[in-house]
Amino acid sequence: MHAIEDRRDGTLYCCAATYAYGATVHRSPDGGRRWERALEVGLPPESGLALERTWHLRPGPESRPGELWLGSQDGGRTFQALPAILFHPTRERWQPGAGGMCCHSIEIHPAHPDTLVIAISAAGAFRSEDGGDTWTPINRGVLADFFPDSYPEVGHCVHKLLMHRQRPERLWQQNHCGVYRSDDGGATWIRLDENGLPSRFGFPIVIHPRDPDTAYVIPEEADVNRVTAGGRLGVYRTRDAGASWQLVAEGLPAPAWTGVLREAAASDELEPAGIYFGTQSGSVYVSPDEGDTWIEAARQLPPILSVEVTWA
Amino acid sequence: MGVVVLLPSILAAEAGGRSRLELEAATVDEALRALPVADLLFDEHGRLRPLVNVYVDGRDIRDGVGSDTPLAPGATIRVVQAVAGG
């Protein structure tokens, strides 16, 4: 579940689903006072699939107003399925994760808007150089040890993937099976969680808006014990591209056994950068100084599904 | 033929705040598909969503009435969201 502001025109978008009435995308042109839902969201009959949830939205580039990934060309009023990924030849080797089959990460190359990187659980990461007409799996070096072949072409359980805007060939991902970095657009991946993280498992990853070597993760104990690692709410930061990680937890509670969902963390573009996340226990934490210190900005909310930065 | 459709509050909000709509329809199916919230009642393949219950004059359409059954003049169609959870 994801909510976002389109900075091109200030429109708010929210992925929403109800158990009775299905899934759609809502849009608000006036800061959230009025909402309207997209009327055409669904999967084509030949797919044999029905849409259960909408997960993630990414506004297109400035040069393409109305483009909203995946699948809308009219500012989120209607969405069309992308056959090249929906019917990808590797699809029979995909399987849904615990949250269902979901495309939760959509990254657009800042200089070449036809270059896209997406991540699907549990299918893996895919790259397109032609605006989504063809997709290539990019999972080399990424572990998937729930298969007999632990390094398959597809089937990986990516939890979150991000592209660095200043160095777009640099990708980061938090995976079910580790934390990884790619310096070649996803062609190869380097595993990083063994360089000082308490576990390989977690959901969100946040990257610094300017420094491509700085990233943040919030590890959980394990897939079979989905609470924050070490009995504390701990953010781990790397300043050296994942060669080492340091716990940055001044102001964060311990003991604590909570969790942070994949869409529930973000960074801003200030100097120094602000880092934000929300917990499944209903607290929102803010670091105004790149993780050095943390402030609990809100508490006693429902489980936090989505955190994004916008400007009032 | 004039019939009445009653919507639960969450659908009424999506139908411009109207919980009671009067419209012309020969069958339940025709009436539901004419609603401004038809996309919430039916999935993208035109199937009534499984947790949407529909009653015609108090009878569940899945319990013998059927969505194709002709409606009597003045029939009342009530849409009810199934209850889930504890």
Q: What residues of A are in contact with residue B38 (Cβ under 8 Å)?
A: none
pTM for this model (two decimals): 0.92
Q: What residues of B are in contact with residue A38 (Cβ under 8 Å)?
A: none
CB contact under 8 A, B49 and A45: no
Residue A256, helix vs strand vs coil: coil
CB A175 within 8 A of CB A193: no
CA trace torsion A210, A208, A252, A255 (10° rounding): -150
CA distance A170 to A301: 35
CB contact under 8 A, B43 and A50: yes
Closest CA to A211 of A132, A92, A291, A94: A291
Report DSSP state, residue A193.
G
Say whether pLDDT at B1 is over 90.
no
On whether any CB of chain B is under 8 Å from the CB of A77, the answer is no
Report DSSP state, residue B44.
T
pLDDT at B85: 62
pLDDT at B63: 85
Strand order in the sheet with A158-163: A158-163, A171-175, A178-182, A190-191
- CB-nearest to B45 from A24, A40, A50 is A50
The distance of A312 to chain B (nearest Cα, Å) reads 27
pLDDT at A14: 95
CB contact under 8 A, A21 and B84: no
CA distance A195 to A155: 25
pLDDT at A191: 98
Which residues lie below 8 Å from residue A111, measured CB to CB, with a gap of 6+? A168
Q: What residues of A are in contact with residue B82 (Cβ under 8 Å)?
A: 20
pLDDT averages per 10-residue partition of chain A, 312 residues? 91 92 93 90 90 92 91 91 95 88 95 97 97 97 96 97 98 98 98 98 98 98 96 98 98 97 97 98 98 98 96 74
CA distance A277 to A309: 10
Minimal Cα distance from A18: which residue of B?
B40
pLDDT at B66: 79
- CB-nearest to A20 from B14, B47, B49 is B49
Closest CA to A126 of A137, A139, A115: A137
Tens digit of each residue's pLDDT (9 = 90 or more) over B53-62: 999 999 999 8
The values of phi and psi at residue A93, to 5°, are: -100, 5
The distance of B16 to chain A (nearest Cα, Å) reads 11
pLDDT at A242: 98
Q: What residues of B are in contact with residue A21 (Cβ under 8 Å)?
A: 10-11, 37, 40-41, 49, 52, 81
pLDDT at B86: 61
Q: What ipTM describes this predicted complex?
A: 0.86
Q: What residues of A are in contact with residue B49 (Cβ under 8 Å)?
A: 20-22
Overall average pLDDT of the B18-34 stretch: 95
pLDDT at A171: 98
